[in-house]
Amino acid sequence: MENPMLGKVQDLSRGAFMTEAASYSGIAMKEILMVLLVAASAFATMISGYATMVTTVVACVGCLIMTFIVSFKPGTAGFISPLFAIFEGASIAMLSMVAEAFLPGVIIQAVMLTFTIAIAAALVFSQGWITVDGKFIKGVTIALIGLLLSYLLRFVLAHFFAVDFGFMEGGLIGVGISLLIIAIATACLFIDYHQIQEAVAQGLPKDYEWYCAFSLLITLVWLYVRCIDLLLTISNMGDD
d(Cα 22, Cα 196) in Å, to the nearest integer?
Answer: 10
* Average pLDDT of span 175-194: 92
Q: pLDDT-based confidence at 177, cuts 50/70/90?
A: confident
What does 164-232 look like in DSSP terms, one character per residue? --GGGSSHHHHHHHHHHHHHHHHHHHHHHHHHHHHHHHTT-BGGGHHHHHHHHHHHHHHHHHHHHHHHH
* Average pLDDT of span 202-230: 90
- For the chain, the average pLDDT equals 86
d(Cα 67, Cα 80) in Å, to the nearest integer?
Answer: 9
Contacts of 99 (CB under 8 A, 6+ apart): 106, 107, 110, 228, 231, 232
pLDDT (0 to 100) of residue 15: 46
pLDDT (0 to 100) of residue 18: 47
Pair 11, 198: CB distance under 8 Å: no
On the question of pLDDT at 69 being above 80, the answer is yes
Question: pTM to 2 decimals?
Answer: 0.86
- Domain ranges within the chain, ordered by starting residue: 15-239
pLDDT (0 to 100) of residue 9: 54
Contacts of 43 (CB under 8 A, 6+ apart): 89, 93
* Average pLDDT of span 111-134: 93
